[in-house]
Copies of this chain bind each other. A is one copy, B any other.
Amino acid sequence: MSIFIQNVFLRGKNTNVYAENNRITYIGGETRKADICIDGSNKAIFPTLVNGHTHAAMSLFRGYGDDMPLQEWLSQKIWPAEAKLTQEDVYWGTKLACLEMIKSGTTLFNDMYWHFHGTARAVEEMGLRAVVCSVFIDFFQESKASSQQKESETLYAESRQYSSRIQFGLGPHALYTVSGKSLSWIKEFAMDKNLLIHFHLSETQQEIEECLKAHNMLPVEYLDSLNFLCPLLVACHAVYVEDKELDILKNNKVSLVHNPTSNLKLGGGKIFRYPQIKDRNIPFCVGTDGCASNNNLSMLEAMKFAALLQKWAHRDTTLLSAQEIWETATEKAHRIFHVDAGKIEVGKLADFMLVDKKHILMIPDHNTISNLVYSASPGVIDTVVCDGKILMEKGKVDGEEEIIAKASEVAKRIAFSGTTL
């Protein structure tokens, strides 16, 4: 399988890009024969985006119980609906999410949810990449901990049936839902098998207060005391972290995921500590979180929220520039998830997109990256390629009508409510 893209805009000039099997093998003026030829005129080629934290199947809950008090929303809306979800529901919910991510230029995401195989099957069929992390929650009960550990081992073994696009990851939910003993077990298992760990860290004030009460330590200090911190850990949110905790995260080579839209919608009151995190050179990327708390999966939008919030909070218009957030969401994010993509270069995986340079949100073209970060919405993306295969061409994805119909059916059934307005 080979793809030849002719006359496409890359780093300031027009060129040709050739991908063979799943890697970019040539960039330059020559013409190459290929199975698929794409006219790149009026298009720019860019690496695809990485969604650093989501719960894909929760796309089924887009707009379900918005604007409610947090606990009421969870207990009356989300948890009862989640309790009804089958693996097949998760499969369709994840397909809906994958479709939206493809359309907004994302081809790699870090997921945490129930029904591992529902998610993995959907990703496999849709052609993206994902770190699929099975939720691990033991509520501090020995028997639950033991069954969750067994499940992790089983799912890890079973995950090998999928292609290399799917990485099995461990998904300990948070320190208020997983015992210290289980966290230690997870760290050992992860190190033994080289698996990424996906974790919610210091998202709310309540979490900090409870941790201080229970352990007389801040969350990061507590996790450090368990020897849980390691380079395989990807900690999401981390808005309520103190300087001394950032030092510990830095020393243990932990990566962070900033979810600006979700932090706003869930009423956090704190902001990702970008200047302090950049000072320490702690790796971080950006995520959307699930659709229930965002309510979309657009990394284009998430980049804008992230970049603008920092300028505003620190009264500095130069902070977290378009170029920097772009590199964070592409090259640096791929590195965090151990995927050799994120740059249009010979030798890199063929994960890229073609952007319509004549789309109104890209006009005028003073700065294409600025336009992508601060102006664009999903409609600017014309073509998406992942692992050397075309997932979207001219804005169309195979089978999208069926996905929309099936996911709508599932959402209606689990919510016990039709359209409200």
Task: Report A's interface with B, CB cutoff 8 A.
Answer: 9, 11-12, 60-70, 73, 96, 99-100, 103, 261, 263-269, 291, 294-296, 298, 301, 305, 308-309, 311-319, 321-323, 358, 360-361, 363-371, 374-375, 377-379, 400-401, 404, 407-408, 411-412, 415, 417-421
The answer on a CB contact under 8 Å between B368 and A419 is: yes
In the assembled complex, how far is the CB of residue A274 from the closest CB belonging to chain B, in whole angstroms?
14
In the assembled complex, how far is the CB of residue A205 from the closest CB belonging to chain B, in whole angstroms?
8
Q: In this complex, what residue of B is CB-closest to A372?
A: B63
Number of copies: 2
The answer on a CB contact under 8 Å between B360 and A400 is: yes
Give the residue of B62, B266, B308, B400 whose beta carbon is less than 8 angstroms from that of A264: B308
The answer on a CB contact under 8 Å between B378 and A420 is: no
The answer on a CB contact under 8 Å between B267 and A366 is: no
The answer on a CB contact under 8 Å between A365 and B408 is: yes
The answer on a CB contact under 8 Å between A363 and B421 is: no
B-side contacts of A267, CB under 8 Å: 311-312, 314-317, 319
Q: In this complex, what residue of B is CB-closest to A265?
A: B308
In the assembled complex, how far is the CB of residue A21 from the closest CB belonging to chain B, in whole angstroms?
29
B-side contacts of A96, CB under 8 Å: 360, 363
The answer on a CB contact under 8 Å between A366 and B415 is: yes
The answer on a CB contact under 8 Å between A62 and B371 is: yes
The answer on a CB contact under 8 Å between A360 and B404 is: yes
B-side contacts of A295, CB under 8 Å: 370-371, 374-375
Alpha-carbon separation in the docked complex, A382 to B70 (Å): 34
B-side contacts of A420, CB under 8 Å: 12, 366-368
B-side contacts of A265, CB under 8 Å: 308, 311-312, 317, 374
The answer on a CB contact under 8 Å between B317 and A421 is: no
Alpha-carbon separation in the docked complex, A291 to B305 (Å): 16
In the assembled complex, how far is the CB of residue A276 from the closest CB belonging to chain B, in whole angstroms?
18
The answer on a CB contact under 8 Å between B266 and A364 is: no
CB-defined A-B contacts under 8 Å, sample of 18: A11-B421, A12-B420, A63-B366, A63-B368, A64-B367, A66-B321, A68-B318, A96-B363, A99-B360, A100-B360, A103-B360, A265-B312, A267-B312, A295-B374, A305-B305, A358-B404, A364-B411, A369-B421
